Structure 1
Amino acid sequence: MDTFYAGVILAALFIGLVVSRFSATVLFLMAAIACLLSGLIEPDVFWAKATNEGLVTLMLLMLCAVALERLPWLGLLSRGIDSPNRYLAVARITAVAASTSAFLNNTAIVAALAQVLRRSRYHLPSQLLLPLSYAAILGGTLTLIGTSTNLIVSSFLADRRGIGLAFFDFLWVAGPVVLGVCVLLVLVSSRLPKRAVAQEERSEYVLEAVVE
């Protein structure tokens, strides 16, 4: 019977995420409460997970990251990454994106750097945005706080063994992968598509009139 209840709750959660207007946070909370009321999880386990150290740490780190993202340093750092040399430009982009996303939210980094790359005087955005995206995603795997998944896994490990993962435990595995992918992105940058951004046709929306 527990399997049936779990299947119904998961199906309802999936449908809700697809068609519901409620936020994902509300839907997951409702699913957790449904699991509690149906007896799938014990109350002590429910409250222990709700006050999980990794979850609290994640929330605090997200608040710190939001504060850092509002400072102008990221925009200032992104101004020096453009270069007439395509390989040098991609190398700078991947280095900055991977290193900063290890400590900050990937979305904020991509948003800040993408604005600069779209105004590049030397290269089309289509040749720069793909390396930016890949480097930002992989950079988040370098540290414990680079992605929420690392923190959750660390909290699960702490529950089982009494000690979680250290801040740079991921670096020994993720570091060579990130470095290798960044080098690969630099080498294949010349084969990335050259797609010009379509200019918006403004003339058909402009109306001039003389009022007498």
Structure 2
Amino acid sequence: MKGIIYTGETITDHKLLAMLPKELQAFLRQHNGVVAYFGGLHIRGCCTEPAWHSLREAWQGEQSLQKTYDTVLKNDIPFAQDCVGNQFLLRQGEVVFLDTETGEIAPLEVDFKHFLIGADKFPVDALGLEPLRRWQQQGGMLAPGQLLHVYPPVCIAADTDKATLATVSAPKRLAFLADLYRQIKHLPDGQALTIKPLQD
């Protein structure tokens, strides 16, 4: 993996580790989660702190993805996220992609090992790095625990190349996305919608 800007400290949540598939266990024993590709991929760790890095928090915590998104199953393991907060879940050994704006799920038809291989070979396509590359070209960078906030949201933007980008904490970005999903999930196509920009 390239561009590693954060590596998780020693595993502290051994009970959670024991619940994970063997390939993910093996990875986390070697590196207890990482932020790689200069913020383009965050693989969560078996820890309680920092909370933004905790796999248990994302999987079973108060703001867990399964409590927010109807499409996320109880046994889906939210092991990673991309630079804007879209999620990668392990579902019965296969990686699926969760669009956190719309709640749509897309099977990637790879297991954990081949997901990492694909990310290493084709990071821009596999991890959707276009917003991060644009942010870097503007002189910006992501710190561990941060995600890129894209406004207006991709699902309603006429031209995503003109969307504004900003860094925000991962919990703040994920809360914005969850709120957006709750607002739009039952709206019919073509319905007008007013979305407030993220406030500091």
TM-score, normalised relative to structure 1: 0.24
Q: Which has the larger radius of gyration?
A: 1
Taking CA–CA contacts closer than 8 Å with sequence separation of 6 or more, which of the two structures ends up with the larger relative contact order?
1
Determine which structure has the larger strand proportion and give its number.
2
